[in-house]
Structure 1
């Protein structure tokens, strides 16, 4: 959710009793403009949460609050944390989320990030899409495994399954490892019913991406939010494909083992039907986006999109989802 989940959304979720993340991008080298943007968002989050301001760069002060939000990074481009480590030490986020390695980047990254954050017990979240990648993440030192099923919006493993089958198998594999690992479920969860189902499958909690993209605090455009609310029957209105990236002109950005789920738009239909080459469809998509033409835009969204009825405050989504999950679980306990 890079560009969508910023300080305002993350801080609101955390203040409401959830745990917010800021999308940090995929370049965490010392010259990264993405990290410069992230630093501004972290400073804003500290202010929104009413925390003490950071000490000056040359100060010897060490007693200041850690930041009760997380930052997330895509890791397929490099494992050079030269820009990331100083930022983590300065801002003290309590969690770092990693996803999409092209090779063994996480082996080095997790070790160095955890070492940088050991003073305030920083936790590492790793998003996975199979039992094999879950075991790899555990061996690399992850504290939290985010089990992402195929119903998820945005990018994911091209070969995966829904959390209905994937989550219980990952739970069993982690229990067999005899390590204390927390498990979160992600993929198509939009309300308390989905939360209750994930908890029944063995998760400790859930991740909700698409639902929070459709909130007041989200940085998604007005046109994007309109699509998120108006699209129904998400199982057939969205599709997992690398074509979505090609339409956005970044077909070479992601390794082939990842694709993404988005709402099916007209340029996508034209490419699949062979009625238009990708280059022409991409230009059409770009024009549609600039003009807020929702019929031609790529909008990343999970298969549960049909459950989104309106644009609400993020805090309200947290609270209502929690209460609905409790209601459903109490109802099930009577059987």
Structure 2
């Protein structure tokens, strides 16, 4: 390697990327334009298909294909076993009554319905469309599903928040694993108990040491310096979410983007209030007022279904106090720009950071502790 990292092509799994970066699959704010723009810019774009039906997933993938010839991935939520009672649903629904009243949403507990997961239909679509990469969050997919994907030449990726989860992903047979540090925005990918909050700098090198498959670092990384650091800690690639969430092509609500762009790092807090699963987002009134009632929350995805009308109406009314403003902790590093501008800056920053680190090492070896020029 001659030091000109701008022409570096990352060949992991033959993806031929300009930069070892994956755009995080952010369910709810994913757009075909965002995924395609990321892939066209030379990183791996991803579709956050978690909340889509099988038919919607197919339509989304086909829209992306019309916008890019480059490889991209699809992320699916692995469904879990969820049990609840009518009394628990009623109590959780009643807890949300003041918020519905303020937003003008009619009360109708009898109309609540929970749709079955569309995982099998989505998996069939991924196989049909022969998407390059299929990643999974919230658990391990059936081993047969992984085998079928591999038989069709599709790269499989798990998500882990601990070394043990990473080892479980490897044992299940996935080709790579996303190592998600506690700094990450949105939902935690945890699927083993008890839930742990391990920072990426501590988690990444341990996971890279213990598993043989490639690891993709995620959590709080916003610029080229973070990418360079993750590569030095053993990552084969880096996944960025929040940095892409505020780009022009993202489908996030304008108030969501504004909240991140103006937030401090400690404004991004953990909550279960919106979905029943731990997620990191910018603190607002809903999170603060609900934090004393966690015992009433329904498990994911039932709580998510209950709060959906509140989030939807808040978006229509431009009321950020009831929106799920998912964000990682690197908020001060967020910038309002296009995907292409973001990727170009990542290339330059990573390039400069790796070269500066190399000069520092050389200075130390020569016995000089002066700053690199």
Q: Return the TM-score normalized by structure 1.
A: 0.78
Q: Measure how far apart 1:19 and its partner are.
A: 0.4
Report what 2:143 is aligned to.
107
Report what 1:207 is aligned to.
239
Please tell me whether the aligned partners of residues 127 and 148 of structure 1 are also in contact (alpha carbons under 8 angstroms): yes
Q: Does 1:263 align with 2:286?
A: no
Report what 2:331 is aligned to.
305
Report what 2:126 is aligned to.
88
Q: Measure how far apart 1:8 and its partner are.
A: 1.1
| Residue range with higher mean Cα deviation, 40-49 or 284-293 | 284-293
- Looking at structure 2, the residues matched to 106 and 193 of structure 1 have their Cα atoms a distance apart, in angstroms, of 37
Q: Deviations over 1:203-251 (max 9, x none)?
A: 11100011111111111111211112121x21x2011121242xxxxx3
Report what 1:56 is aligned to.
none
Report what 2:177 is aligned to.
145
- Looking at structure 2, the residues matched to 240 and 107 of structure 1 have their Cα atoms a distance apart, in angstroms, of 32
Report what 1:59 is aligned to.
none
Q: Secondary structure at the match of 1:261?
A: strand
Q: Does 1:45 align with 2:83?
A: no
Match of 1:238 among 259, 263, 268: 268
- Looking at structure 1, the residues matched to 196 and 256 of structure 2 have their Cα atoms a distance apart, in angstroms, of 27
Q: Does 1:8 align with 2:8?
A: no
Please tell me whether the aligned partners of residues 150 and 163 of structure 1 are also in contact (alpha carbons under 8 angstroms): yes
Q: Secondary structure at the match of 1:243?
A: coil
Q: Which runs of 5+ in 1 are unaligned?
A: 27-32, 52-66, 246-250
Q: Does 1:24 align with 2:24?
A: no
Please tell me whether the aligned partners of residues 57 and 125 of structure 2 are also in contact (alpha carbons under 8 angstroms): no
Report what 1:290 is aligned to.
316
Report what 2:7 is aligned to.
none
The count of corresponding residues between Structure 1 and Structure 2 is 285
Q: Secondary structure at the match of 2:132?
A: strand
Q: Secondary structure at the match of 2:166?
A: helix
Please tell me whether the aligned partners of residues 246 and 257 of structure 2 are also in contact (alpha carbons under 8 angstroms): yes
What is the aligned-residue RMSD (CA, Å)? 2.5
Q: Measure how far apart 1:7 and its partner are.
A: 1.7
Q: Secondary structure at the match of 1:96?
A: strand
Please tell me whether the aligned partners of residues 208 and 214 of structure 2 are also in contact (alpha carbons under 8 angstroms): no
